[in-house]
Amino acid sequence: MPETPTSPARADAAEQTPRRTFLDSILGFGFMSSAMAMLYPVTRYLVPPPGGEPATLSVVAARLANVPPNTGFVFNFGNRPALLVRTPEGELRAFNATCTHLDCTVQYRPETSQVWCACHDGLFDLGGGVVSGPPPRALERLTVQVRGESGQEEVVVSRD
Ligand code: FES
């Protein structure tokens, strides 16, 4: 005897189809969510977001009155360290303070009037050139300007 739409077997199949579709949807959604959760960090790693440091940057490093001759200090230049030096003769110089060897931060040594990298004893002159040690290149020079009224001058460091 052929089954009719009202037979019990046909009615069970009709009831199971929406349930099966619903379970398939839940499993599919779970699979897609898991795949997205795994792919998102990989994608962010491979394609980092745009941004970072702008090509041009200008920072007030200090008040001129606070930078006596034969001193130097590190300051934040964007998201990197920079070094402002006032030579024994009173000239202002600024450098990217990241050593060209293995990226340690350099510092000014007043006793020798040189820039020193403590990591591997790299030495730079006050033009940023390599004197000795393993650094392969000179330090990047930054532009220094003094702005403001007399007695209130600020030392502005920029990269063009
Ligand atoms: S990191 Fe500066 S000398 Fe090695």
Q: With contact defined as beta carbons under 8 Å apart, do 104 and 118 qualify?
A: yes
Atom number, ligand 1, closest to the C-alpha of residue 106: 2
Task: Provide the pLDDT for residue 1.
Answer: 45
pLDDT at 107 over 80: yes
140 CA distance to ligand 1 centroid (A)?
15
Give 23 or 103, the one with higher predicted confidence: 103
Please identify, by atom number, the ligand 1 atom nearest to the C-alpha of residue 135: 3
Give the architecture (CATH level 2) of 57-159. Answer: 3-layer Sandwich (2.102)
pTM score, whole prediction: 0.69
Instruction: Tell me: pLDDT of 10 over 90.
Output: no
Counting from 1 in the atom list of ligand 1, the atom nearest the Cα of 104 is: 1
At 14, is the pLDDT very low, low, confident or very high (cuts 50, 70, 90)? low
Q: What's the mean per-residue pLDDT of the chain?
A: 88
* CA of 68 relative to ligand 1 center, distance in Å: 27
**Nearest CA, atom 1, ligand 1:** 102
On the question of pLDDT at 54 being above 80, the answer is no
Q: What are the residue ranges spanned by the domains of the chain?
A: 1-50, 57-159
Look at 150 and 129; give whichever has higher pLDDT: 129
Q: Phi and psi for 147 in degrees, rounded to 5?
A: -130, 155
Could you tell me what percent of the chain has a pLDDT over 70?
A: 85
The CA distance from 130 to 101, in Å, is 11
